[in-house]
Amino acid sequence: MTSIDIAPLRSSVTGPVFGPEDSGYDDARAIWNGSIDHRPAGIARCLSPSDVAAALGYAREHDLEVSVRGGGHSYRGASVCEGGLMIDLSALNNVTVDPSARRARVGGGATLANLDAATQEHGLAVTGGVISDTGVGGLTLGGGMGWLTRTLGLSIDNLASAEVVLADGEVVRASEENHPDLFWALRGGGGNFGVVTEFEYRLSAIGPEVHLGFFFWGMDDGPDALRLCRDVVPALPRNTGALIASSLSAPPAAFVPEQFHFHPGYALLVAGFGSAEEHAQVIAPIREGLPPLFEFVTPLPYTGLQSMLDDAEPWGAYAYEKALDLGDLSDDVIGVLTEHAVKKSSPMSFIPIFPLQGAFTAVGDDDTAFGGSRAPHYVCNMTATATDAGTLDLDRTWVRNIWEALRPLSTNPGGYVNFMTDVDEERVRSSYGSGKYARLSRIKAQYDPHNMFHLNANIRPAASALK
């Protein structure tokens, strides 16, 4: 590991700075994915944009690789570098809500739990993910999908501006009016263009009470259950969110009959953001179409919906994922999913399938840098999660086998950049498409010509694209 003198860094950054010999270093470098064990040469916990600028200046002066930690929920460990300088934004987690303007300013180190807690005090929300300790930064910069995608679009579709510390240390506010090219790139281009220290979101009235329907079918009903999802989900009203789960082991929760705890199967989760009566009408065709093994229908707080899957992806779990886009849940796709459903080893591993429909389609393909079509489709996320390295190895192979089998059926094998653990230039280019990638590459050359920010789904600066 690189050895550096961090005393000058301590004198220029107001927040704490950790070296390998310091107490607190191991806690500071720990991230959600327990299979990642990277050791930075230094960690700067920044308290302001000026701290970030100072840390970047130190990294340039000492030719150090830079990683940026927001929520620390990266599957591939992009937020913690090996032997370089880790810029830790976790202290920048403040959320300020203006309920009259329906706007929120959110620190770059905030988690979805921080964001949702603050906005729900006013009955407001913005599209987030489905795990509450996910960082808003990484989620938003890649696109940001979750329960509200069909209702409000992606997180980036609700982004009004972003405060960014550029590679040279300059601090800018990017929006439609200021640095519009940078603002376009930030909305889907990942962490390639700078360190975002604040996001400003447009909010919408959601909650505080929402409604959930959880329907579970056993393995034998897999093909029929997925065909039912194919028929029902696209027809859901816009104020309804949905998540399809293949290869899911029923949780040992109070709402699951004890005889079905850890029972493998398929599930459809339907979240309603209107009245209880509206939700009842929406879910009626589901149970009528194919009686589930069990179901759970209940009102719950929006913050409860946002955190209900946390136990499925606990902090410190060993994890790996791949993803691709599917135009439809065709019979061939269903055949692949059901063939591989029983082959996982860990009860924590499963395949969440995110429907991108409704408000998602109201934005043009080229209006943001989002990697993928704005036509209605599904993001199929194959997730291996385990409590030990050996089981993860088995389910990593399971994930890769499913991905290979689905790839010929995919509309975008590059997939969603936030679900891209194995990053290579070909997959990144495939995700964005040649035209969008070329535009991102030109913007990258303007704002980060030396590719300081490359521990991501990297977009190479235009000047070096062919080198």
Do 176 and 188 fall within a single domain? yes
CA distance 377 to 361: 9
Instruction: Report whether pLDDT(167) > 90.
Output: yes
User: What is the residue-wise DSSP string for 127-156?
Assistant: ---SSTTSBHHHHHHH---STTHHHH--GG
CATH of the domain at 59: 3.30.43.10
CATH of the domain at 148: 3.30.465.10
Do 32 and 178 fall within a single domain? no
Q: Which residue has the tokens 């959930």?
A: 212
Q: Which residue range(s) make up the domain with 30?
A: 7-88
CA angle 155, 160, 166 (to 5 degrees): 95
Contacts of 358 (CB under 8 A, 6+ apart): 149, 150, 151, 236, 238
Nearest to 206 by CA among 243, 159, 160, 240: 240
Instruction: Report whether pLDDT(29) > 60.
Output: yes
- Among 175, 205, 235, the domain-final residue is 205
Do 81 and 109 fall within a single domain? no
63-67, 86-90, 232-236, 413-417: range with lowest mean pLDDT: 413-417
Residues 14-41 have a mean pLDDT of 96
> What pLDDT was estimated at residue 425?
87
* N-to-C CA span, the chain: 28
CA distance 83 to 19: 11
Structure tokens at 15: 């927040």
pLDDT band at 4 (very low <50, low <70, confident <90, very high): confident
> What pLDDT was estimated at residue 2?
60
Q: Which residue has the tokens 């959110």?
A: 106
For residue 452, tell me if it sits in a domain. Answer: no
For residue 217, tell me if it sits in a domain. Answer: yes
For residue 460, tell me if it sits in a domain. Answer: no
Burial of residue 289 (number of CB atoms within 10 Å: 0-12, 13-18, 19+)? middle
Classified as helix, coil or strand, 371 is coil
Residues 212-232 have a mean pLDDT of 98
Burial of residue 466 (number of CB atoms within 10 Å: 0-12, 13-18, 19+)? exposed
CA distance 27 to 370: 33
Do 316 and 227 fall within a single domain? yes
Do the beta carbons of residue 75 and residue 421 sit within 8 Å? yes
CA distance 241 to 212: 9
For residue 164, tell me if it sits in a domain. Answer: yes
Do 149 and 266 fall within a single domain? no
Helix runs in 121-244, H state only? 136-142, 149-152, 180-186, 222-232
Instruction: Report whether pLDDT(1) > 80.
Output: no
Counted domains in the chain: 3
Structure tokens at 248: 């899911």
Do 56 and 143 fall within a single domain? no
CATH of the domain at 303: 3.40.462.20
Do 175 and 65 fall within a single domain? no
Do the beta carbons of residue 276 and residue 186 sit within 8 Å? no
For residue 45, tell me if it sits in a domain. Answer: yes
Do 390 and 336 fall within a single domain? yes
- Among 88, 104, 129, the domain-final residue is 88
- Quote the crossing angle between the two packed helices 331-340 and 222-232, to the nearest 10°: 140
Helix (H) / strand (E) element for 77: namely none
Structure tokens at 12: 């220029």
pTM: 0.96
Across the chain, what does the average pLDDT equal? 96
CA distance 83 to 81: 6
Contacts of 324 (CB under 8 A, 6+ apart): 379, 380, 403, 406, 407, 410, 412, 413, 414, 415
For residue 445, tell me if it sits in a domain. Answer: no
pLDDT band at 465 (very low <50, low <70, confident <90, very high): very low
> What pLDDT was estimated at residue 53?
98
CA distance 384 to 154: 25
- Among 44, 67, 88, the domain-final residue is 88
Do 45 and 64 fall within a single domain? yes
For residue 463, tell me if it sits in a domain. Answer: no
CA distance 104 to 162: 11
> What pLDDT was estimated at residue 87?
98
Residues forming a β-bridge with 322: 382
| CA dihedral (122, 126, 129, 130) positive or negative | positive
Length of the chain: 467
Give the pLDDT confidence of 424-454 residue by residue, as tens digits.
888 999 999 999 999 999 999 999 999 999 9
Please state whether 61 falls in left (phi above 0), alpha (psi between -120 and 50) or beta. Answer: alpha
Do 123 and 36 fall within a single domain? no
CA distance 395 to 252: 21
> What pLDDT was estimated at residue 467?
44
Do the beta carbons of residue 421 and residue 320 sit within 8 Å? yes
Do the beta carbons of residue 97 and residue 181 sit within 8 Å? no
91-105, 133-147, 222-236, 421-435: range with lowest mean pLDDT: 421-435
CA distance 270 to 138: 25
> What pLDDT was estimated at residue 3?
73
Do 394 and 298 fall within a single domain? yes
CA angle 304, 306, 307 (to 5 degrees): 65
For residue 436, tell me if it sits in a domain. Answer: no
pLDDT band at 464 (very low <50, low <70, confident <90, very high): low
Do the beta carbons of residue 195 and residue 448 sit within 8 Å? no
Give the pLDDT confidence of 363-420 residue by residue, as tens digits.
999 999 999 999 999 999 999 999 999 999 999 999 999 999 999 999 999 899 999 9
Contacts of 454 (CB under 8 A, 6+ apart): 192
- Cβ atoms within 10 Å, residue 160: 16
Instruction: Report whether pLDDT(316) > 50.
Output: yes
CA 228 to chain centre: 27
Do 190 and 150 fall within a single domain? yes
